[in-house]
Structure 1
């Protein structure tokens, strides 16, 4: 199947799920998220490691992947998408794999960064 797919947007519903920004501290993360919340009218969501502005922007406080941050791409079939990207030379970082309670993959990063951004796939 993966050899025949030309367009991952059509094949897997690939879309930008969120952009991750690295902040130096929890205070800076909150400030950056506050600005995006004000800019776009998004609701805040604070987790143990990040502050979200809606679901579009995640600001990581001191622990974000990527030199500059990360970009999360949502897909409708993460296992098939992983195989498709691997066939094109984009290796998966198995140490980054996060699982759902049922054992399925929630998200996984590629080994390679692009322009200083770590890239991950996440299951819709």
Structure 2
């Protein structure tokens, strides 16, 4: 009698297939996350650029008697130092824009999740979850 064993074709078990698919999914997630990070990072100004930021101000044209004749600008902006503002103004700004400002390190995951859930439920983009830090950057 002749031994007629057929060549075996290796088949993957469910565990091996699951592990393989999870590994591929992880690699794709990391690659897409890295690409997204790089894409977003292209528009972020450096810390040095933010420290040296000087917004455009209104130019005032005066007559010979030093009386203002007109204002020329793209934006009507007057720079006011923080020391000249009432103490409650920065506090009011923080309360209105980012009430948890002192409780997070720049990204408020809870606010992002809250806004996401609200926007999904309402079917429109009615809330945002960005912090003051994210808006400046």
Task: Identify the structure with bigger relative contact order (alpha carbons < 8 Å, sequence gap 6+).
Answer: 1
More strand by share: 1
More helix by share: 2
The structure with the largest alpha-carbon Rg is: 2
TM-score, reference length from structure 1? 0.25
TM-score, reference length from structure 2? 0.24
